[in-house]
Amino acid sequence: MVAIGVGTGGLPGDVHSAYLLPVNPESEKYKVEPSLPFQRIAQGGDLAWTGDFEDFARALEDEIGRAAIFDLSDDRERAILVSVSKQSKEVQQSSLAELRALTETSGVMVLGQLCQRVRKLNPRFLMGSGKIREVVIEALQKQATMLIFDQELSPTQVRELCEVTELKVIDRTQLILDIFAQRAHSRDGKVQVEVAQLKYLLPKLSGKGTSMSRLMGGIGGKGPGETKLEVDKRRAQARIATLEKKLKELSKGRETRRKQRGRSGVPIISIVGYTNAGKSTLLNTLTQSKVLAEDKLFATLDTASKRLRFPHEKDAVITDTVGFIKKLPKELKRAFKSTLEEMGDATLLLHLVDISDPAFEMHIEAVTEILEEMELTEIPRIIVFNKTDLVKGDDDTDARTTIKNLCIRYDAIPISAATPDTFGRLLVALEERLWPELKKETRKETLPA
C-alpha cells in the first residue's frame, strides 16, 4: 500500500508505504517503510520496492506462498476464529477451543484465533476499530477467507463486518446450523434444519451489495444455499410456512409410532449427553448395531432406536439422540422440539458424559440446563462416565483413583463405550431401574444357601 501526500502548490509530497510480511517466527504482520519525499522516490529512492516494482511484488507473493501455514492446493474455506466478550480470556479461550472443534467438524480450516475482553460491546462491530484492523491484517497475512465469531452477531453487525473486512462473516449459531445441514440425512432432519436456517437468516434478508452474497453463502454454500436464500422476506416466510406444515405431518407419524411403543409395554431408554460424548458408539456396542459413530461434534443428528436384550431375558428400546451443546441456537431448539420431545416418553434417561474432556463438568451443566428447559428432569436419570480409558491421573493420584473419586461425587457409573467388558455395572443398574423387582431377585441369588 502506498499513500502520497500533497505538498505546497498541489505537488506530490512525502510518500508513505507499507506491505504485508509472510508468516514469520517473530509474528511480525507488516513492514512500514520510512517516508521519503516524492522527488527522491522518482530518482530511485532507498525503498524495498523501488526499481522494478513488479519483480518485488512477485517475489513477495512467492515468499508469502512458501510460508503459508496450509497446503495451497487445499481449496477449503480458511477461517480466523474471533471472540469478543466481557468474560475473562480464560473463559473465552475455553469456548474458542470448542468453536475450533465445531469449525473443523464443518470442514473449514482454522488458521488462527483472536480474543478480546471488553468492558462494553461495540453495537456496530462488536469490537473496536483497532482490533478490527488487527483481525483484517491477520486474515490477509494468513490468507483466510472468512471470520467466525464465537458470539452471536446481529444482522447489522454481520453486514458492517462484511463491508469493512471484505470477508465472509458468520457466527457460532450459523456455524452450528451449517453443520446440522451437512449432517441431516433423514427427511425429518432435513426439514427441521432448513426451518431453523431460514428463521435464523430471515432478519438478515435485507440490504444489498457484496456483503449479502458473503452472508448467505454459509460454509461453502452448505444448507439452503444461495438459490433458496436470495429471495425476499415474503417468499422466505412462505417457505417456512410450507416446511412447518410438513413438520406437523411428520410429527403425527412420530406420535403414532410412540403410541405403538407405549402399548407394547417395552421400556424406553434415551441416551442423552453433550455432543461427541460417545452416544452412538455406546448404542452400537450395546446392541451390535452399525449406527454412524465418528470422533466429531454432531456426527449424527437423526435419532436411532434399537432393541436391547438384558441378561434376565428382558427387553428395552434404547434410543440415541442428537447431542447437546452450550449456546445451542434457539432456532435449532424450536426446529428440533418435536424430535427432542420424544425423550419425554422415555422410561429412563442415560446421561452419557465424556469424563476425559477437561470441560466435562461444564458439559454436565449444559445438558442439565437443556433438560430443565424441556421439563424432562422428572424422568429418572443415571449418569454414566464414558471414555475412562482416556483419563489421565494427576501428580497425586493415578487415573483409577481419579475416576473412582469422580464417580462417587456424581453417583456415576464408569464405562468405555467401545469395550463391552466394562458394561457389567451399567447393565445391572439399568435392569434394576427398569424392573425394580429384579433387584430383590438379584439379592436373593447372592444370599448364601
Residue 434 pLDDT exceeds 60: yes
Higher pLDDT, 413 or 233: 413
Per-residue pLDDT at 429: 94
Compute the average pLDDT of residues 357-386: 91
- All three cell numbers of 442: 438379584
- CA separation for the pair 340, 344 (Å, rounded): 8
Residue 329 pLDDT exceeds 60: yes
Domains of the chain: 2-66 (no CATH), 78-177 (3.40.50.11060), 265-446 (3.40.50.300)
Provide the β-strand partners of residue 131. none
pLDDT band for 208, please (50, 70, 90 cuts): very low
pLDDT band for 130, please (50, 70, 90 cuts): confident
Residue 58 pLDDT exceeds 90: no
Per-residue pLDDT at 395: 60
Compute the average pLDDT of residues 414-440: 90
- pLDDT tens figures, 87-100: 998 889 989 999 99
CA dihedral 112, 115, 121, 127 (to 10 degrees): -50
pLDDT band for 441, please (50, 70, 90 cuts): low
Q: Where are the beta strands (DSSP E) in 10-150?
A: 12-20, 30-37, 78-85, 109-117, 146-149
Write out the DSSP string of 248-300. HHHHHHHHHHHHHHHHHT--EEEEEEBTTSSHHHHHHHHHT------SSTTS-
Q: Name the pTM for this structure.
A: 0.73
pLDDT band for 211, please (50, 70, 90 cuts): very low
- All three cell numbers of 280: 452412538
- CA separation for the pair 165, 168 (Å, rounded): 8
Nearest to 100 by CA among 91, 84, 113, 90: 113
Higher pLDDT, 17 or 99: 99
pLDDT band for 250, please (50, 70, 90 cuts): confident
Higher pLDDT, 323 or 443: 323
- CA separation for the pair 222, 106 (Å, rounded): 10
DSSP state of 71: -
Residue 225 pLDDT exceeds 80: no
- Asked if 97 contacts 90 with a C-beta cutoff of 8 angstroms, the reply is no
Inter-CA distances, 271 with 35, 199, 218, 294, 358, Å: 66, 29, 31, 16, 21
